[in-house]
């Protein structure tokens, strides 16, 4: 009989166990699709505590781990602001796009 691993075995135990991003690497989508965005999230790296809430809740999967903090792929961010809402330390601000 095949032994099925328990769910507990899949729970990350350290920051390093969590995948770099929640989506495929940039380049998998062939067309940049953020040209219509009118505000963009900007991360204050000094305030960021690396809790990954923005990473987990971004509906586009465009936030990636970056040396204990996070970074945003602006080629695919749609500017919805969910990451800002989820950031308890208030490390994300929304800035107007300068087209």
Residues that bind ligand SF4 (CB under 6 A): 41, 43, 48-54, 58, 60, 62-63, 70, 72, 77-83, 86-87, 89, 91-92
DSSP 31-65: S---TT-SEEEEE-TTT-----HHHHH-TT--EEE
Nearer CB in complex with ligand SF4: 7/96: 96
CB-neighbour burial class of residue 75 (10 A; exposed 0-12, middle 13-18, buried 19+)? middle
Please, how many CA atoms are within 13 Å of residue 15, restricted to the half-sphere of its CB? Answer: 13
Please, how many CA atoms are within 13 Å of residue 37, restricted to the half-sphere of its CB? Answer: 21
Closest CB 2 distance from ligand SF4, rounded Å: 38
Closest CB 13 distance from ligand SF4, rounded Å: 18
Nearer CB in complex with ligand SF4: 19/89: 89
Nearer CB in complex with ligand SF4: 4/81: 81
Closest CB 39 distance from ligand SF4, rounded Å: 8
Please, how many CA atoms are within 13 Å of residue 40, restricted to the half-sphere of its CB? Answer: 19
Nearer CB in complex with ligand SF4: 5/67: 67
């Amino acid at each position: 009989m095949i032994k099925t691993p328990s769910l507990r075995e899949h729970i990350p135990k350290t920051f390093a166990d969590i995948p770099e991003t929640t989506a495929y690497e940039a380049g998998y989508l062939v067309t940049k699709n953020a040209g219509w965005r009118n505000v963009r999230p900007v991360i204050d790296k000094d305030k960021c505590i690396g809790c990954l809430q923005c990473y987990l809740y971004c509906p586009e999967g465009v936030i990636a781990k970056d040396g204990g903090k996070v970074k945003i792929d602006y080629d695919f961010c749609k500017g919805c602001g969910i990451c800002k809402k989820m950031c308890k330390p208030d490390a994300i601000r929304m800035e107007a796009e300068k087209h």
